[in-house]
Amino acid sequence: METVALRPKQNPITLSRHFMVPFGRNEDFVGRESILQQLLLRILPNANKDDRQRTAVEGLGGAGKTQVALEAAYRVRDEHPACSVF
């Protein structure tokens, strides 16, 4: 008679995502869809990983740069659950 030793089934590897954003989402965020879409096109994951770019948002103080960046970060988190945001 042949004896077979079975290994316990291993759990699949789960990738944990990271979301490290210094501020909460502005629930009253409106407008700026054009610049927001431009930003999202540059940072969203796609089929070609080499297309992702580090991106800077620049402008005068009080123009809303932080709010646009925050909204982009929260949209990426909501629409791409496997993507990490720093």
Average pLDDT for residues 25-41, to the nearest whole number? 90
**What's the pLDDT tens digit per position in 42-76?**
887 665 566 566 788 999 999 999 999 999 989 98
Q: Tell me, rounded to whole angstroms, the distance of Cα 4 from its chain centroid.
A: 46
Amino acid at 19: F
Per-residue confidence (pLDDT) for residue 59, from 0 to 100: 93
CA distance 27 to 23: 12
| Other Cβ atoms within 10 Å of 69 Cβ, number | 18
What mean pLDDT value characterizes the chain? 79
Per-residue confidence (pLDDT) for residue 12, from 0 to 100: 55
pTM of the entire predicted model: 0.68
